């Protein structure tokens, strides 16, 4: 499922874990906060979100997920 950031216009994949979700997400490009609502794998609402969200990570881009090795395989 893809969302266009309303701050910078970047299109990013939020993945299936957000199929039925309401809450904050952070743009992986500009780090802008969005509040989204999804139902049954479809976007229902996207708006600018302003909140204390320092602990909310940006979604990983598909290219980042495939290029990172598991922690057990990383060199010390």
Q: Is pLDDT of 76 > 50?
A: no
Q: Is pLDDT of 32 > 70?
A: yes
Q: Classify residue 27 as exposed, middle or buried by CB count within 10 Å of its CB (0-12, 13-18, 19+).
A: buried
Contact (Cβ atoms closer than 8 angstroms) between residue 24 and residue 54: no
Q: Is pLDDT of 24 > 80?
A: yes
Contact (Cβ atoms closer than 8 angstroms) between residue 20 and residue 28: no
Return the pLDDT at 38: 93
Return the pLDDT at 53: 44
Res. 62 pLDDT band, cuts 50 70 90: low
Q: Which two tokens stand for residue 16?
A: 């299936």
Phi-psi region of 46 (alpha: psi -120 to 50; beta: other; left: phi over 0): beta
């Amino acid at each position: 499922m893809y969302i266009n950031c309303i701050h910078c216009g970047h299109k990013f994949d939020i993945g299936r874990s957000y199929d039925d979700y309401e809450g904050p997400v952070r743009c992986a490009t500009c780090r802008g906060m969005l509040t989204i609502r999804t139902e049954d794998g479809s976007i229902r609402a996207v708006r600018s979100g302003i909140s204390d969200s320092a602990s909310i990570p940006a979604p990983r881009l598909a290219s980042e997920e495939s290029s990172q090795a598991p922690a057990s395989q990383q060199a010390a």
